[in-house]
Chains A and B, each alone.
Chain A
Amino acid sequence: MDGSDAKKVVNESGIEIQTLYGPGDVERSGGMDFVGDPGGYPFTRGIHKEMYRKRPWTMRQYAGFGNPAETNQRFKYLIENGQTGLNVAFDLPTQTGLDSDNVLAEGEVGRVGMAIDSLADFETAFDGIDLDKITVSLTINGSAAILIAMYLAMAEKRGYDLKTLRGTAQNDILKEFIGRGTWVFPVEPSIKLVGDTIEFCAEHTPKYSPVSVCGYHIRESGCNPAEEMAYAFCIAKAYADDVIGRGMHVDEFAGRLSYNFNLFGNLFEQVAKFRAGRSLWAKIIKEEYGAEDPRSMWLRMIAGGGGGGLTFEQPEVNIMRGAYYALISALSGTQTMALCSYDEAYTIPTEYSARISLRTMQLLMDEMGLCDTVDPLAGSYYVETLTNQMRGKMEAVMAEVAEAGGIVEMVKDGRIQAKVSEQAYDMHKDIESGEFPKVGVNRYRIEEDDEHEVEFHPYNIADAEMQIESLRGVRSRRDTKAASAALAKVKGAAEAGDNVMPAIMEAVKAYATVGEITDAMVEVYGRYEEPIRF
């Protein structure tokens, strides 16, 4: 209690905020025991000793549309403009394991991302891009095992050594069941597939990160910041448990796990979330899993300025929101940054809006001194207290999930989906009523808003037709026997319960398609049936 008459303030994670903080508050919340030094356990202040002084954050705007040739041009445009990594957007047919000529793909080919059918498309998409200099993150989940294999096969074909090849795949299927929705197979085989990629990559591509566990989309779907991180840790543990169950040691894979978190909301709550999360994950991996390698304890992450915070109303104001999100990201010690562009409530980003996002991050890096010193908010009575409190909230959420039977069970029966969507509904009502302030939405509205036009990224149906044409070309040119034999091996490996990755690698090299490889696995695993809970 601080004795003031000020109106009660509670952050989204449910922590009451005082008018003033002092050393006593830090002590009462748990003291500074968890703070430590950057680069050392428990990593509250950052996973590296020198952080941005040594290496600034990677800038990785989400990009991809139309066919691979067009996307290749956008990639090159972003790189020319100073982007330091790629974050690949795939269209929905690719994400859900359908070929571009599937009837279910009609009208969707190349619309919200790049269409990929076979290895030939990856060869085109990354043509002329130096994969040693530009690391590539694949935003792919339901069909991730196939797309990872295509990426590795493409790199290998171009002469890169898989032992040193870097890159990331999102490949977090559990969050797809909670939000985002690009699942393919039922829950159990889906987790098994993630385990297959972790196991395969640990052996063959030790620098490649096969999974980026996402709190981001669960936050977009309605959970609060403490839950965002807690749920992500529960999910990461589910994957870790799968591969440990196969006999792997935690230090063989944990160092290549990465994370993806959201940034919108209260600045201090967000910064505290990241600082608290780093120490909590380090503690889990060390104490529960017995890791000894400090790298296994690192909470490596991309933190993205989420679309959930942006508004349809007065879209140009989203440019400023994005700037504050980027500031949060830099103050939080993220490894990689991405921002939803200001027009994303309307359309996928144009070159223009993508460039504004990139410049926003570059401003922080080059003009504002965000790279000068590590964890600049450390020692603030408020931030340290809040960091301790956020850690407590996350632990409480994780305990609740364990009590409820674990995240996998909650996903299977739809309890977690229902909980998150209920919170989204409550938040939406609070925004409509003005209880939760949103500039331009429930205050400072302008009438001419209705007149506002953003420039739309055009959808070109001819690109989709070209993609289908090129897919047919691949099917007619390839060695049909080899492709069929490889597909039979994928099915065989799935049936036997073996790791399917070696068979998938062989299949993609034989130019089997995303749809064909998916279907081979569907024959064994079946398809996910969504529990309709909201």
Chain B
Amino acid sequence: MTSAKKIKVLIGKPGLDGHDVGAKIVARALIDAGFDVVYTGLRKTPSEIAQQAMEIEADVIGLSSLAGSHIDFCTKLKGLIDQYGLKEKLWLIGGCIPKQDHGALKEIGLDGIFPNGSRLDDIVEFISANTQSGDA
């Protein structure tokens, strides 16, 4: 991808969950795919994540969660996303996200859900297809 403006992705680790292997793997894969990637590091609050997304002008907010509290923090983040005018951003989540929760997450406003076992290429393609420079 050689387009002038790179798609900017914020990979966030909300809550107290310390599992960051997957988040870092996805971050590296997105860099290799030509995206501009910022990783928040562990234990961020929804407001810290929304704040950082705004500061770096992220096109994509990707969350990683493996400790089960995804509905709680996505609900909180939803309010902040609306408040900060981040509604148009592509919003993704990956990790240990049971199928039974996918409906609720979609309803909250998640655009893409990539549970354990998802392929890196699928994540890259999804972002490319759903962001403005998706033709890159």
Query: Which of B1-9, B37-45, B53-61, B81-89 lies at the interface with chain A?
Result: B37-45
Instruction: For residue B23, give the distance in angstroms from its CB to the closest CB of chain A.
Output: 8
Instruction: For residue B122, give the distance in angstroms from its CB to the closest CB of chain A.
Output: 10
Given contacts A104-B45, A313-B117, A532-B39, contact A181 B21 (CB under 8 A): no
Name the residue in A220, A221, A428 with the highest tally of chain B Cβ atoms < 10 Å from its Cβ: A428
Q: Is B110 an interface residue (CB 8 A)?
A: no
Q: Which residues in B have their C-beta under 8 angstroms from that of A181? A: 17-20, 42-43
Instruction: For residue B66, give the distance in angstroms from its CB to the closest CB of chain A.
Output: 9
Instruction: For residue B98, give the distance in angstroms from its CB to the closest CB of chain A.
Output: 6
The reply to whether A428 and B120 contact each other, CB–CB distance below 8 Å, is yes
Assembly CA distance A104 to B67 (angstroms) = 14
Q: Which residues in A have their C-beta under 8 angstroms from that of B42? A: 181, 530
Chain A to chain B: the 7 pairs with minimum beta-carbon distance, closest first:
A181-B18, A107-B72, A92-B16, A534-B24, A312-B117, A312-B116, A107-B69
Q: Is A345 an interface residue (CB 8 A)?
A: yes
The reply to whether B116 and A428 contact each other, CB–CB distance below 8 Å, is no
Q: Which residue of B lies closest to A345 (CB)?
A: B116
Q: Is A96 an interface residue (CB 8 A)?
A: yes
Interface size on B, residues (CB 8 A): 34
Q: Which residues in B have their C-beta under 8 angstroms from that of A220? A: 21
Instruction: For residue A393, give the distance in angstroms from its CB to the closest CB of chain B.
Output: 23
Q: Report A302-342 residues with CB < 8 Å from chain B CB.
A: 311-313
Q: Report A69-113 residues with CB < 8 Å from chain B CB.
A: 92-93, 95-96, 98, 104-108, 111-112
Q: Is A436 an interface residue (CB 8 A)?
A: no
Interface size on A, residues (CB 8 A): 40
Given contacts A108-B69, A424-B24, contact A432 B120 (CB under 8 A): yes
Q: Report A430-456 residues with CB < 8 Å from chain B CB.
A: 432, 441, 453, 456
The reply to whether A312 and B16 contact each other, CB–CB distance below 8 Å, is no
Q: Is A421 an interface residue (CB 8 A)?
A: yes
Q: Report B79-136 residues with CB < 8 Å from chain A CB.
A: 96, 98-100, 115-117, 119-121
A–B pairs, 22, beta carbons within 8 Å = A98-B16, A104-B16, A104-B45, A107-B15, A108-B16, A108-B67, A112-B67, A180-B18, A180-B19, A181-B19, A181-B20, A182-B18, A220-B21, A312-B115, A312-B116, A345-B116, A347-B68, A347-B96, A429-B120, A432-B121, A456-B98, A530-B41
The reply to whether B68 and A112 contact each other, CB–CB distance below 8 Å, is yes
Given contacts A108-B67, A112-B68, A425-B28, contact A346 B120 (CB under 8 A): no
B residues neighboring A (CB under 8 Å): 15-21, 24-25, 27-29, 39-43, 45, 67-69, 71-73, 96, 98-100, 115-117, 119-121
Q: Which residues in B have their C-beta under 8 angstroms from that of A98? A: 16
Contact of B119 among A176, A179, A432 (CB under 8 A): A432
Contact of B28 among A95, A347, A456, A534 (CB under 8 A): A534
Instruction: For residue A50, give the distance in angstroms from its CB to the closest CB of chain B.
Output: 39
Q: Is A381 an interface residue (CB 8 A)?
A: no
Assembly CA distance A347 to B69 (angstroms) = 12
Q: Is A459 an interface residue (CB 8 A)?
A: yes
Q: Which residues in A have their C-beta under 8 angstroms from that of B72? A: 106-108
Contact of B16 among A96, A221, A456 (CB under 8 A): A96
Told that A108-B67, A456-B98 touch, could you supply 9 new A-B pairs with CB distance under 8 A?
A96-B16, A105-B16, A181-B17, A181-B20, A182-B16, A421-B21, A424-B21, A425-B29, A429-B120
